[in-house]
Amino acid sequence: MEAAQAKAGCQSQCGNLSVSYPFGTEDGCFMDTKFFIKCNKSVEPPKALLQNSTIDVLHIDLDAGELRILNWLGSDCYNSSGSSFCFSTWLNSGLYNISSTKNKFTAIGYDTYAFITGSVGQDYATGCLSLCDDISDVINGSCSGVREYDISLASYYNHSRILSFNPCSHAFVVEEGEYEFSASHLNNSGEDWKLPMILDWTIGDQSCSEAKKDPETYACKENTICREPENGNGYLCKCGDVSRGTHMLKSDIDECETLRPCSSTCHNTFGGFYYSCPKGYEGDGRRDGSGCSPMVNHHNWKLHITQTAIG
């Protein structure tokens, strides 16, 4: 289990979000601007935003190298006079990949064509078409079939573009399992509608072997394991089993000093501690246990009783 730990003197909480290094909310608290979390304290509770955007950050996963965010929908709505409201959603950031394994690209609506474009080394596009003749064909529930369409997507890196037709159509990337279709969504403008999405993040753009060549910039500290992600470049730091703290601020916790669990001699080790009693004493050495007490020479005690009985 990961333990949230910000840099010393830095804010570790923004509203409901635990902020761990390499992320931070102030200058000097994050590794680089890629990991800046803006903490909007003008609302209650405070809201964590991705850099200087309006994108909410819900969770930071240090082990998986993931961010869970809330992202806007792309929407296109028409009224009887032909006037329209159109909102296209863009995620224009070369700093994160949209997870190709934990998200779905989804389109809902009548006669709706939606597509996304992106680039991972080379440009690509993928999309889907949704057709429907009558409102009676619409069934609430799972997002699959003639009225809604979802597809797995290759992770796109730069941006997404949405084109759609007829009232009201929507297209969006959403965390798998986090969207359930309702017929009411066809008349929802989507203007204030956000859904969760998973982004992948890494440190730098070098592999583990390349990054280790420069100890000054290599982020994985003592007792951590460097690993490379399945998607994209860069690397991640994973804590070893016996260590505490965050993955790039690796330091031992002195349990003898912080917990003071022993009634006698406490010995701190990296990731743990043990205790002992002085020579001539016995017990478990713990304050909440038997502690330490003078050893009784059972052999001499028994001999003394025997001698007394004989005498």
The answer to whether residues 275 and 267 touch, using CB atoms and an 8 Å cutoff, is: yes
Please, is 198 exposed, middle or buried when counting C-beta atoms within 10 Å of its C-beta (0-12, 13-18, 19+)? buried
Give the integer Cα–Cα distance in Å for 88 and 4.
35
Query: Hunting for tokens 């597509």 — which residue is that?
Result: 115
Which neighbouring-strand residues pair with 276? 265
Domain ranges of the chain: 13-65+202-239, 68-200, 255-310
* Cα dihedral 158/160/161/163 (nearest 10): 160
Written as tens digits, the pLDDT of the chain (311 aa) is 445 478 888 999 999 999 999 999 999 999 989 999 999 999 999 999 999 888 999 999 988 899 999 988 888 777 766 656 676 666 655 678 888 889 988 888 777 778 777 766 677 787 877 766 555 555 555 444 333 444 444 444 332 333 334 467 888 889 999 988 877 777 777 777 889 999 999 999 899 999 999 998 899 887 788 999 877 789 999 876 544 445 566 554 555 655 555 556 666 554 455 566 777 777 777 776 777 877 665 444 333 333 333 33
The answer to whether residues 187 and 168 touch, using CB atoms and an 8 Å cutoff, is: yes
